[in-house]
Amino acid sequence: MKMKTNHEKAMESQDKSSTTYLEFEDNSLLIELFGSQESNLKLLEKELPVIISTRGNQVVIQGEEESVRIAGAVLASLYLHLQEGKHIDTTDVMMALRHTNDKESHDEVFLTTKRRVITARSRQQAAYIQSLKENELVFAEGPAGTGKTYLAVAFGVEMMLAGRMDRLILSRPAVEAGERLGFLPGDIREKVDPYLRPLYDALHDMLPLEQVTKKLALGEIEVAPLAFMRGRTLSDSVIILDEAQNTTEVQMKMFLTRLGNNSRMIITGDLTQIDLPKGTPSGLQDAMTTLAGVKGVGYINFTERDVVRHPLVSRIVRAYERKKAHH
C-alpha cells in the first residue's frame, strides 16, 4: 500500500484549505530564510501537509488551517532570528517546527489572522505582542508607523478567530469634530468613517471583505467613536482605543471603566501629537502615570527607531538626509 506524502495530502485538502500570505520587508534575508534552492521551504512541505510558493518577498502557504498556521509561525520566527543578525540552517528549521508544534509552547512573535500571519518586525514589536498576550490592559505609546494600532487589531482578530473573544470593538476620539458628531453631514456611518478609516484599513488587511461586512452587521466587530462608549460594560471583548492622546482625563477614566469580564483592552497613542485644546491635559499621559505598577497592566514605549518603513521609503529618507548633510 502506497503511503501518501504530505504534499499529496495538502493537494487533496484544497477544498477545505486555508491560505496565508506572509510579506517580508528585507529582501536581503530571503535567500537564507528560504534556503539554498528553497530547501527550507521544501523541508516544511515535507514535514507538514502544506504547499508553499514564493512571489518576490511574499510567501503563500496553502493547506489545512492548523498546518498553515504552524508553517507561517516557523517562517516568522526564523525571519526574526535573521533580523537579529543570526544565521539559520535546516537544524534551526526543525527546532522552530518542533517548538511551534508543541501545544504547551507559545511563540510570541506572530499573530495569525485569516489573510496573513503577521510577524514582529522589531524587538519592540515582539515585546508588544508578548505584552498583549500576557496583560488585560496594555498601553502602547509612540510615533506613527511603529505598528501600535495594526498589531492591536491583529491581536483582536486572532482572539476572535480562536473563539476566545466574542467581539472586537475599535474606538477613537473624534477630536476634529469636537465629539459633536451632530454637526457633521450624513448618517452615523458617514459621520464617523473619516476618523475611523485607519481601523477599517487594518481590518481589511486581516479578514476578507465579506467577513468584515458580515461581522460589522452582526455586531461582532464594532467601530465607533469614543463618545459611543459611555454607559456600557464590555465583556468577552477586545477593546481598542486608538489616538488616545486626544482623550481628556475624564474620557479616559470613562473608557477604562468599560472593561468587563474576560475582556482585553489596548490603548494606543502618540504623546507628541496631542490635538486637545491648549491647557487640557492628555488622558493618555495621566492614565499611564496613574496606573504605573498596577498588576495586569502592560506598557510599551516605541521610539523613532521602531518606525517600520517600506525599504524604498527608508532609502528615500536616507537620500534626503545625505542631501541635507552636504548643504
Helix, strand, coil percent values for the chain (each to nearest 5): 50, 20, 30
Residue 148's pLDDT is 94
Strands 50-55 and 58-63: antiparallel
Per-domain residue ranges for the chain? 6-107, 125-311
Question: Among 223, 215, 261, 218, which Cα is nearest to 240's?
Answer: 223
User: Is-above-0.95 flag for pTM?
Assistant: no
Residue 101's pLDDT is 67
Residue 184's pLDDT is 44
CA–CA distances in Å: residue 39 to residues 28, 36, 43, 58, 63: 17, 5, 6, 17, 19
CA separation for the pair 97, 88 (Å, rounded): 13
State which fold the 125-311 domain adopts. Rossmann fold (3.40.50)
3-state secondary structure of 268: strand
Please give the order of strands across the beta sheet that includes 50-55. Answer: 18-23, 58-63, 50-55
Residue 161's pLDDT is 86
pLDDT tens digit at each of 327 positions of the chain: 344 455 555 555 454 578 888 888 788 899 999 999 999 999 999 999 999 999 888 899 999 888 888 898 889 889 888 887 888 888 888 888 877 765 444 444 567 676 666 777 778 888 999 999 999 999 999 998 889 999 999 999 989 988 899 999 999 887 644 444 444 445 444 544 566 777 888 888 888 888 888 998 999 999 888 888 888 888 999 999 999 999 999 999 999 999 999 999 999 999 999 999 989 999 999 999 999 999 999 999 998 888 876 667 767 877 887 888 887
Cβ-contact 171, 240 below 8 angstroms: yes
In terms of CATH, what superfamily is 6-107?
K Homology domain, type 1 (3.30.1370.10)
Strands (E), the chain: 18-23, 50-55, 58-63, 110-112, 117-119, 137-141, 167-172, 221-225, 237-241, 264-269, 297-301
Residue 43's pLDDT is 93
Cβ-contact 194, 183 below 8 angstroms: no
Residue 6's pLDDT is 54
3-state secondary structure of 111: strand
